[in-house]
Amino acid sequence: MKKYLLVTVAGLSISLLAGCANKPVVRYGDAEAVETTNINFGSTDLQKVANQMADSLVASPVVGTLTANKRPIMFVDSVKNKTSEHIDTESITDSITTKLLQSGKFRFVDMSKVDAVREQFNFQYESGLVDTRKAVQFGKQVGAEYMLYGNLSSIVKNNADQADLYYKFTMRLMDLESGLVEWADETEIRKTRTKEMVGW
């Protein structure tokens, strides 16, 4: 009986220790710390691209003239992902738009929510649940004057010992009435991954 009890206790102890060993540990980190988990496009690259493009646009002398006496209205077209990776380019444009709004120099219309706005208009006027005298009026929205758009492309080179990844992010600001590009800039990122020599 003692032997059976001892085996049971030992088995439970091993199970508890194994459970503790496999328990995941979650820690908060610095969201702005340099990310080097792998060579692919990551949070550090997103922050670098968004900050440089927004700062460049705000500092541009041409844009300074455009925003001297008013806050131009613009919309952001989806960034074209021309890389071989799946990259959430919407996060890039969200970060750029947020920084530009915080600068106080621009206003934006959100083209990604047109369908949702139309659905709300239909609800207010056609559902019979909203007093139409208090409904939002049709035809009162303001159109954009400028379009901000961009491309993200990459070049990948590999050999047995090293991988080299180059990104180029380009943005332009177009006057919708004239079709003229009023501002353009680009930023580049290069990352390399090398195999560590064991024993060195």
Choice between 161 and 8, residue whose per-residue pLDDT is larger: 161
Per residue in 107-131, pLDDT tens? 999 888 888 988 998 898 888 888 8
- pTM exceeding the 0.85 threshold for the entire prediction: no
User: CA-to-CA distance for 183 and 57, rounded, in angstroms?
Assistant: 7
Task: Give yes or no for residue 16 having a pLDDT over 50.
Answer: yes
For residue 132, the model assigns a pLDDT of 85
What's the confidence (pLDDT) of residue 98? 92
Q: Which domains occur in the chain, in start order? A: 41-109+144-194 (3.40.50.10610)
| Residues 6 or more apart in contact with residue 143 via CB below 8 angstroms | 73, 109
* pLDDT digits 0-9 by tens, 44-81: 888 888 899 999 999 999 989 989 999 999 999 988 99
pLDDT at 200: 43
Residue 101: which pLDDT band, with cuts at 50, 70 and 90? very high
Structure-token match 């220790």, residue found: 17
As a whole-number percent, the residues of the chain with pLDDT over 90 amount to: 35
pLDDT at 2: 54
3-class secondary structure for the chain?
A: CHHHHHHHHHHHHHHHHHHHHCCCCCCCCCCCCCCCCCCCCCHHHHHHHHHHHHHHHHHCHHHHHHCCCCCCEEEECCCEECCCCCCCHHHHHHHHHHHHHHCCCCEECCHHHHHHHHHHHHHHHHCCCCCHHHCCCCCCCCCCCEEEEEEEEEEEEECCCEEEEEEEEEEEEEECCCCCEEEEEEEEEEEEEECCCCCC
Q: In this model, does residue 89 exceed pLDDT 50? A: yes
